[in-house]
Amino acid sequence: MDMQSTDTKNETDKVCIIGAGSSGLAAAKTFAERGIPFDCLEREDDIGGLWNETTGTGVVYDTTYLVSSRKYTGFEDYPMPEEYPTYPSHREALAYLRDYAQNFGILDRIEFNTTVERVARTDEGWLVTIAGKSRPRLYRALVIATGHHDVPRFPKIPGNFTGEVMHSRDYRSVKQLIDKRVVVVGAGNSACDIVVDATSLARAVYQSMRRGTYFVPKFMLGRPTDGIVNFCEKMPMPRGLRNRIYTIWHMLMVGSNARYGLPEPEHRIMDTHPTMNTVLPQLAAHGRIGIKPEITELKGRMVRFADGTEVEADLLVYATGYEMALPLIDNDLIFDADGRLRLYLNVFHPELDDLFAIGLIQANGSIWRLAEDQAKLVASFLIAGAESHERAAWFRSLKAQGHDHFAQAPYVQSERHRLEANYYAYRRQARRLLRRFGEMAKAELKSWRKSKTAGRTGSAGAREKALSTTSS
């Protein structure tokens, strides 16, 4: 490669962090503390990622509130303000992220309005192509912190709907629902929020669910639910027993779905990602929501369901999640042929030592705290490698195993759970690994090793595979 053809202001002494949402901020803060030089590139003109309603990246709406409580959401070394409500709004969450970035001095280190179009790996490092720049930049390592809420997923349903169609990603305000007959597809947090919003202003509201799910209230016994779960998770017990206890507890506190007119789950409560919504079951019981099975056909304004019933609708909202795709990079490096994640701990490439993802995970707890744990592991591995420390070789052998399915195996097999992990099990494992890094878990980077490519791949074959995929 001709070095003159690249933007040499970066050389290869920096790590490139793509994205300045909560995960990118966690990475930038950790790298700054550990002395790892980096550039943080953000395509928008502000931080916040999904939590910033003013940008194209944001997916929040007027009525978005956290589904984890204030105490258990904020970064551990920078708690959310006590004056915040128990469940902060998206605007308060964004304000908190801004304060976090300012407090740790990373806000001024973010390059805004910098759109990464493509990344490709070479022997010298990662070539990062930026919109409007004639030359790509060259970086020593790459951290993808963009998440996966980029490509909306739409189910394939026979027929054609002639009314308005929207993905939940484009939902912003209850004003979009006024005086409309609305069908919402899905039973996740966003779907239920939109359904609840629609009951106040829409002419009619229907919710299509493929399967029954547990609707978990935000408060139990007058306390935030995640606080109670956090307490229970400190008690060691087999997952099966814990799952049974939580399922029984939910039955006692909430009751059977059938009593609300909702389909019964065919699984235990820990086998799916929880839907945190206190009021939806009550609205269903009041008859304000028409609960329907999955859609089987669309014909004009008519929507037909698996039970043979039909409704006329003006607006069809797909709250059906996102495709497993990262548009910036060759996805063969991240996912296997079946679309399953290849990365160890959802972070580390099994063969490449200079490619990481932070925040590419879904869990029943604060993703922000998981991103912070991930960033600490990445920093420790990079520094151990730079020091030629024996902990680098130890961790390299671990991540060579590829994706650890311990957290995914018990979940219902569906698109929604491809990135799912148990928050508490994941954090326990991350902390164990950090302890095993020993002195490298807190060491600061002194200097990069002289050889820029040594130790970057697990084998020569892996190097050839990586180079062939990035050049295709």
Which one, of 330, 381, 324, lies nearest residue 147 by Cα? 324
- Identify whether residues 373 and 280 lie together within a single domain: no
- Identify whether residues 200 and 307 lie together within a single domain: yes
Q: What is the DSSP letter of 322?
A: B
Q: What is the pLDDT of residue 417?
A: 72
- Identify whether residues 176 and 270 lie together within a single domain: yes
Pairing mode of beta strands 302-305, 295-300 = antiparallel
Number of domains in the chain: 2
- Identify whether residues 332 and 310 lie together within a single domain: no
Tokens standing for 467?
Answer: 């180079």
What's the rounded mean pLDDT across residues 146-157? 91
- Identify whether residues 328 and 311 lie together within a single domain: no
What's the rounded mean pLDDT across residues 429-439? 96
- Identify whether residues 258 and 338 lie together within a single domain: no
Q: What is the pLDDT of residue 462?
A: 39
Pick the last residue of a domain from 318, 342, 374. 318
- Identify whether residues 261 and 289 lie together within a single domain: yes
> Which of 37-41, 74-78, 265-269, 457-461 comes out lowest in average pLDDT?
457-461
- Identify whether residues 224 and 112 lie together within a single domain: no
Q: What is the pLDDT of residues 20-79, one digit of tens each?
A: 999 999 999 999 999 999 999 999 999 999 999 999 899 999 999 999 999 999 999 999
- Identify whether residues 313 and 372 lie together within a single domain: no
Residue 461 pLDDT level (bands cut at 50, 70, 90)? very low
Residue 411 has pLDDT above 50, yes or no: yes
- Cβ atoms of 128 and 122 within 8 Å: the answer is no
Q: What is the pLDDT of residues 169-198, one digit of tens each?
A: 999 999 999 999 999 999 999 999 999 999
Strands (E), 10-124: 15-18, 38-41, 110-111, 116-122
Distance CA(345)–CA(185), nearest Å, equals 31
- Identify whether residues 169 and 307 lie together within a single domain: yes
Pick the last residue of a domain from 318, 343, 361. 318
- Identify whether residues 244 and 130 lie together within a single domain: no
* 3-state SS, residue 82: coil
Residue 454 has pLDDT above 60, yes or no: no
Pairing mode of beta strands 420-421, 362-363 = parallel
Q: What is the pLDDT of residues 348-377, one digit of tens each?
A: 999 999 999 999 998 889 999 999 999 999
CATH code of 363's domain: 3.50.50.60
- Supply the range of the domain harboring residue 442: 3-151+323-470
- Identify whether residues 189 and 287 lie together within a single domain: yes
Pick the last residue of a domain from 276, 299, 318. 318
Instruction: Find residue 205's DSSP bridge partners.
Output: 182
